[in-house]
Structure formats: structure tokens, C-alpha cells
């Protein structure tokens, strides 16, 4: 993912609400959200190049999602694929806090990342760049390709949009959240972050929804977690069509 917006223990019905965009090169082979053939407990899309994922949920209600930390000067040769962090979090059999703590000791194995993992009762955030494991408290959050709640224009606009949607008390939050994720307004130059890429790329990467010749928003995902039920919706964008898949998981 390149943008994750989430509200944790804010809404009276939904303990966790997530709206996220995955940005990637168009040619990278990808499978849409599905229950994995090699682990039917996991519902997630899949990167068919490295076989990891960017966001997913399990039938027991564990959630995980990841963004890359943008640093074009970082040496990545020989490091592991970040997508396996999400897959490993979803497959981990112990307490999710234990898994997240284990990453602190292995921070140099992966290029820079932000990882969210947990469920409706406990949610954790860790970045191997910020190097601080945080237990998420109730509130509205956003993370793109820097640290949690860094005030990039897309993060600020996303959090504000999420707050407005929450106040409006929709019967169905899915379409309003997907519409929010499709906002393609480019940030003014004076508000652009300086991450080491060119000004042209900073401009192109600044909207919530990105579209360029060979790179852009490949999919948008909304997750709504109730006490006994999870709604998981993925909207995939291709050059020819838009496909939306909806799943409901009953928690026991």
C-alpha cells in the first residue's frame, strides 16, 4: 500500500475501519483479493512476483497492512521482500504483539517500511525506520510513504475526509470510503514533501489516487470490522475496466 487511512475504536459499530490504496508499477503481476490456495485462512491480494501481500485479513479477524518508506538513496540489494511481513503477520500463531516485537530485532532485513497489525482488540504499528513499536490508541490515523501521521498533503486530506465520513453516519460506508480514495487532486508545490525523488515525481505521487504512464494506484481496499463480522471490499483498476469484489467474514 502507499496510503492507509484508518479509524480505530472511533465508530460505535465498527471497531476498525480501513481505507487504503495500493500503488505499484502496472506491469508487476498481481492477483486480486482471494482466499489463498496455500492458506485458506487468509483473504488478501497477492504479489505474484514475491508471493507476499500489502494488506489482508484472516477468518479469525487478524488484520495486517504495509506501506513502503520512500528513500531512493536506500541500499536494498540483498534485503528481503516487504510483502512477506504482512503474510507472516497473518500466519503467525502467537500473540500479534510478540510478532511485532520480533521485528525490532530484525529491522535491517528489509527495506524501509511501516507495518500495521492486530485486530479489533489490539492494534500495533512498527516502522524499521522510526524504530518504535506503538500500540494504537483510539483515533483517526494515516500513513503513506513516511512515518505514521506524517503531515503529507494526501495523509492530511485523507484523515480529514475520513473524519467527515464518520460524522455523516452513513448506512453504508463502503462507497463513500472508496470515493475518498479516488481523489486525484495534486498538491501544490509548496506543500510537497522532499523525499529525494525529482519534483516531477513528487507531484505525480502527491494525490491519494495516482495515475501515470507506467505507475499508479492499482487497487483500493475498504475494511469494516464489527464485533462478529468483517466486510472486506477491493476495487481493482486496470487499463480496460474496474472490478469490485466484496467479502463478508463471520467471526466466531
Domain range summary for the chain, segments of one domain joined by +: 3-250
Share of the chain above pLDDT 70, in %: 100
Report the percent of the chain where pLDDT is more than 90.
95
* Per-residue confidence (pLDDT) for residue 171, from 0 to 100: 80
Query: Domain spanning 3-250: which CATH class is it, in words?
Result: alpha beta
Q: How far apart are CA 135 and CA 123, in angstroms?
A: 6
183/118 Cα distance (integer angstroms): 28
pLDDT (0 to 100) of residue 240: 84
Q: Is the pLDDT at 160 greater than 90, yes or no?
A: yes
In DSSP notation, 15-78 reads SEEEEEEEEEETTS-EEEEEEETTEEEEEEEEETTTS--SEEEETT--EEEEEE---TT---TT
So what's the pLDDT on residue 170? 77
66-104 pLDDT, tens digit per residue, is 999 999 999 999 999 999 999 999 999 999 999 999 999
Report which of residues 240 and 82 the model is more confident about: 82
Q: In this predicted structure, what is the pLDDT of residue 252?
A: 73
Closest CA to 171 of 249, 239, 231: 231
Does the pLDDT at position 53 exceed 80? yes
Q: Residue 190's pLDDT band (boundaries 50, 70, 90)?
A: very high
Helix (H) or strand (E) holding 228: none
pLDDT of res. 61: 97
Q: What is the pLDDT of residue 220?
A: 98
How does residue 1 score in pLDDT terms, banded at 50, 70 and 90? Answer: confident
Q: What is the mean pLDDT of residues 140-152?
A: 98
Residue 165 has pLDDT above 90, yes or no: yes
Supply the pLDDT for residue 187.
97
94's CB contacts (< 8 A; 6+ apart) are none
Tell me the pLDDT band of 169, cut-offs 50, 70 and 90.
Answer: confident
Amino acid at each position: 500500500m502507499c496510503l492507509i487511512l484508518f479509524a480505530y475504536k472511533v465508530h460505535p459499530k465498527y471497531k476498525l475501519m480501513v481505507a487504503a490504496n495500493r500503488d505499484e508499477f502496472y506491469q508487476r503481476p498481481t492477483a486480486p483479493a482471494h482466499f489463498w490456495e496455500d492458506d485458506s485462512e487468509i483473504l488478501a491480494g497477492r504479489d505474484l512476483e514475491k508471493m507476499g501481500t500489502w494488506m489482508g485479513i484472516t477468518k479469525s479477524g487478524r488484520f495486517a497492512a504495509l506501506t513502503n518508506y520512500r528513500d531512493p538513496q536506500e541500499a536494498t540489494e540483498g534485503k528481503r521482500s516487504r510483502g512477506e511481513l504482512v503474510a507472516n503477520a497473518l500466519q503467525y500463531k502467537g500473540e500479534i504483539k510478540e510478532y511485532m516485537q520480533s521485528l525490532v530485532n530484525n529491522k535491517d532485513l528489509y527495506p524501509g517500511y511501516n507495518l500495521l497489525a492486530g485486530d479489533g482488540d489490539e492494534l500495533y504499528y512498527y516502522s524499521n525506520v522510526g524504530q518504535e513499536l506503538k500500540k494504537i490508541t483510539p483515533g483517526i490515523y494515516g500513513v503513506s510513504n513516511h512515518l505514521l501521521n506524517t503531515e503529507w498533503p494526501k495523509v492530511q486530506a485523507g484523515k480529514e475526509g475520513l473524519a467527515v465520513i464518520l460524522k455523516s453516519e452513513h448506512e453504508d460506508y463502503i462507497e463513500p470510503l472508496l470515493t475518498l480514495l479516488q481523489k486525484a487532486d495534486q498538491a501544490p508545490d509548496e506543500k510537497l514533501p522532499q523525499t529525494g525523488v525529482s519534483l516531477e515525481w513528487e507531484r505525480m505521487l502527491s494525490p491519494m489516487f495516482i495515475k501515470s504512464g507506467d505507475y499508479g494506484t492499482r487497487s483500493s481496499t475498504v475494511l469494516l470490522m464489527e464485533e462478529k463480522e468483517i466486510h472486506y471490499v477491493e476495487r481493482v483498476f486496470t487499463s480496460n475496466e474496474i472490478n469490485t469484489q466484496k467479502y463478508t467474514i463471520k467471526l466466531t
